[in-house]
């Protein structure tokens, strides 16, 4: 089966642009994650792909065939949603088999074979006769996954399928989804607001905001080369520090803050936004430090210390340290930036390429 392609898709809902000129391609066997906050348009985009909404503009193609004009039943997609959509009047076996039985065309023994096979792979073999109302959240999620799995779909769609699970169950459920995806070797689109899910599962991640795709990259590239300040702020925990500065030769300066900059393409205004990860900061002597200020708060983690401080001009900066410093609110601190520094245009907020 071929790739899933979204070309220039737009959709207005309730008077606002829910999806705005979105394009991407999901290759065969690729797990493509759409990451965004509530209201970013990610779930609306998935509804457009599966046929629960019709696009105002653009095309959706599967293996080169237009599907955006087809009703959902004719798109041959496997779908798992946040609320699972299980039928309480049916047992586990009936829920898994429902899609195959309602579509027709398969003999009963083939349906039974597929149901038993999918249930066995997901640890549901002993539960086929049980009511879904008697199952835990994790077990219900596996039933929904098995129902999608038994269908020989051309692509698979997942809309926040782990949101209702407690953290202990999410890791196992995430592993189940990845295993099904790898077995099926089909294009899969997975929607989530959770960065840890996106980074653990994805081949490629599309970051969405206000209906637009801000960047499509591998998880590593989102961290190492954000396309704009939104991605820089959104990806990573804590997020990237962003400090307004003026270019002066090989140095970016901002109210006493000086950060050495490698070769860089010109910024039209001579001003930039300097970005650097909290993990790239190291304690320094005050006289030679790139950044100094006053501690606002200190958060002690299991393996790291998170220090938030303000510089002389009031800019708040966050440092993540492997070794704890004996400091608290109100104490002076100084840091060097030990790592790659990113530059962004203060007007367009887009990354400035290296010269």
pLDDT score at 259: 63
Separation between Cα atoms, residue 30 and residue 321, nearest integer Å: 35
Strand partners, 294: 310, 332
Lowest mean pLDDT among 206-215, 297-306, 337-346: 337-346
The predicted model gives 74-89 an average pLDDT of: 87
Residue 267 has pLDDT above 70, yes or no: no
Q: Is 29 helix (H, G, I), strand (E, B) or coil?
A: coil
pLDDT score at 260: 63
Which DSSP category does 3 fall into?
-
What share of the chain has pLDDT > 70, as a percent?
94
Which DSSP category does 240 fall into?
P
Strand partners, 5: 25, 61
Q: Model pTM? A: 0.88
Mean pLDDT, the chain, whole residue set = 89
pLDDT score at 81: 84
Query: Where does the pLDDT of residue 145 fall: very low under 50, low under 70, confident under 90, or very high at 90 and above?
Result: confident
Residue 279, CA distances (Å) to 220, 229, 231, 307 in order: 15, 18, 17, 11
Separation between Cα atoms, residue 5 and residue 24, nearest integer Å: 6
Residue 257 has pLDDT above 60, yes or no: no
Q: Is 123 helix (H, G, I), strand (E, B) or coil?
A: coil
Separation between Cα atoms, residue 10 and residue 126, nearest integer Å: 45
The predicted model gives 60-64 an average pLDDT of: 96
pLDDT score at 105: 76
Both structure tokens of 182: 């790898």
Q: Is 43 helix (H, G, I), strand (E, B) or coil?
A: helix
Lowest mean pLDDT among 35-39, 114-118, 164-168: 164-168
Residue 69 — φ and ψ, nearest 5°?
Answer: -100, -5
Spatial CA neighbour of 243 closest among 287, 297, 309: 309
Both structure tokens of 59: 């095309």
Residue 245 has pLDDT above 90, yes or no: no
Separation between Cα atoms, residue 136 and residue 125, nearest integer Å: 15
pLDDT score at 355: 59
Which DSSP category does 353 fall into?
P
Spatial CA neighbour of 24 closest among 152, 208, 163: 208
Strand partners, 317: 309
Query: Where does the pLDDT of residue 13 fall: very low under 50, low under 70, confident under 90, or very high at 90 and above?
Result: very high
Residue with tokens 């400035």: 352
Q: Which domains does the chain have, with CATH numbers?
A: 4-227 (3.40.50.300), 230-344 (2.40.50.140)
57-62, strands of its sheet edge to edge: 16-26, 4-13, 57-62, 65-66
What share of the chain has pLDDT > 90, as a percent?
57
pLDDT digits (tens, 9 = 90+) for 283-340: 987 666 778 899 999 999 888 999 999 988 888 999 999 888 899 999 999 998 887 7
Both structure tokens of 16: 């606002």
Separation between Cα atoms, residue 183 and residue 64, nearest integer Å: 23
For 120, residues 6+ apart whose C-beta sits below 8 A from its C-beta are none
């Amino acid at each position: 089966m071929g790739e899933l392609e979204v070309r220039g898709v737009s959709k207005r809902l309730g008077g606002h642009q829910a999806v705005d000129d979105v394009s991407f391609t999901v290759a065969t066997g690729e797990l493509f994650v759409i990451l965004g906050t509530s209201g970013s348009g990610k779930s609306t985009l998935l509804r457009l792909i599966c046929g629960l909404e019709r696009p105002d503009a653009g095309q959706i193609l599967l293996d080169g065939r237009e599907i955006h004009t087809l009703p959902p039943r004719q798109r041959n997609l496997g779908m798992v949603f946040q609320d699972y959509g299980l039928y309480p009047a049916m047992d586990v076996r009936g829920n898994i088999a429902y899609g195959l039985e309602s579509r027709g065309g398969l003999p009963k023994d083939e349906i039974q074979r597929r149901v038993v096979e999918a249930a066995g792979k997901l640890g549901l073999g002993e539960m086929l006769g049980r009511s879904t109302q008697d199952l835990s959240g994790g077990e219900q999620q596996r039933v929904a996954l098995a129902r999608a799995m038994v269908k020989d779909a051309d692509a698979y769609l997942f809309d926040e399928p782990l949101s209702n699970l407690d953290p202990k169950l999410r890791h196992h459920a995430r592993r189940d989804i990845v295993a099904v995806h790898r077995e099926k070797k089909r294009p899969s689109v997975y929607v989530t607001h959770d960065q840890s899910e996106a980074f653990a599962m994805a081949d490629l991640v599309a970051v969405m905001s206000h209906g637009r795709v801000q960047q499509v990259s591998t998880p590593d590239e989102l961290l190492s080369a954000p396309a704009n300040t939104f991605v820089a702020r959104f990806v990573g925990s804590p997020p990237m520090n962003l400090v307004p500065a003026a270019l002066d030769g090989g140095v970016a300066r901002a109210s006493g803050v000086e950060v050495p900059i490698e070769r860089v393409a010109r910024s039209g205004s001579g001003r930039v936004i300097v970005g650097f990860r909290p993990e790239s900061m190291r304690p320094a002597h005050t006289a030679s430090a790139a950044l100094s200020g006053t501690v606002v708060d200190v958060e002690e983690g299991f393996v790291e210390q998170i220090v938030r401080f303000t510089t002389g001009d009031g800019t708040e900066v966050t440092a993540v340290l492997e070794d704890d410093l004996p400091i608290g609110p109100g104490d002076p601190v100084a840091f060097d930036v030990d790592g790659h520094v990113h530059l962004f245009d203060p007007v367009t907020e887009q990354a400035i390429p290296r010269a």
